Structure 1
Amino acid sequence: MYSQLRRTGCRPLEAFGHIAFGLVLLGLGLACAGADLLGGWERAGRLLTGAG
């Protein structure tokens, strides 16, 4: 992925920024899917805080 961005003319820091942004979007998508699978954000929050 990095070499692909470099070939299109992105500077190294800019390329890493694009990769980091993609990973953040992927993480948010996984968090949303996980919360839906657990039955909602409230239940997911209770599970993460240990409240049950």
Structure 2
Amino acid sequence: TSMITYKMYSCDWTKQSHEFKKLMLLIMRKSHYHYQFRVGGLFLVDRVLLTK
């Protein structure tokens, strides 16, 4: 998840539109949230498992 923030910040965002910058900031913020859910009430799935 720290790589998401790093990669987003490393792109050439300074020349992008205001809308792009807002979306980029939203993605960077959301990438720090911890979330998990159960599939079929049995399996615990989190962001790490989804991105493998």
If the length of structure 2 is used for normalisation, what is the TM-score? 0.36
**Larger proportion of strand:** 2
Instruction: Give the structure, 1 or 2, with the largest relative contact order (CA under 8 Å, sep 6 or more).
Output: 2
**Larger proportion of helix:** 1
If the length of structure 1 is used for normalisation, what is the TM-score? 0.36
